[in-house]
Amino acid sequence: MSIQRPYVRSMDGWWKRNAYFTRYMAREVTALFVAAYAVVLLVGVIRLSQGEAAFNGWLQALKTPLSLVFHLLVLATFVYHSWSWFNIMPITMPMMFIGGKRVQPGTITRTGLAATVVACLAVFFIVRGISS
């Protein structure tokens, strides 16, 4: 082989080449909605510091159809975040052995998802308890 001219192929649009990669991008995109919700809460805190009239303005904005659609969309992405989070979490954990047997990734995922259900219900009932 006398001529060596290695050819480097482009990575443009790599995430469209494989359904697996597109799902990864969907998982990462949930971050935009997490940020958006945090900003909504941040605005609420700022309005709270500006007095009752300002805060009531923020409360009124939450009652609009646009806000409802936004929050339902955010809710859907948060649910997808929880699902994808606990699906990927096992690969970040060290190998664990209980009673000599390897703890399976599926066990960790199911435990995490169960914890999510429990935690969300806890928040729900704590808020119920405080507000009544």
Chain positions 56 to 75 lying near other proteins, rule: CB under 8 A, are 56, 59, 62-63, 67-68, 70-72, 74-75
Question: How near is the Cβ of 110 to other proteins at its closest, in Å?
Answer: 14
Tokens coding 30:
């949930």
Residue 99 DSSP code: T
Cα distances (Å, whole numbers) of residue 103 to 82, 91, 113? 21, 12, 16
Nearest to other proteins of 32, 106 (CB atom): 32
Q: Nearest distance from residue 19's CB to other proteins, in Å?
A: 10
Nearest to 113 by CA among 74, 75, 80: 80
Q: CB–CB of 91/108 below 8 Å?
A: no
Judged by CB under 8 A, the number of residues near other proteins is 78
Smaller CB separation from other proteins, 17 or 107: 17
Residues 6+ positions from 71 with CB-CB distance below 8 Å: 62
Residue 109 is a binding residue for other proteins (CB under 8 A) = no
Within residues 2-21, the interface with other proteins by CB under 8 A covers 2-9, 11-12, 14-15, 17-18, 20-21
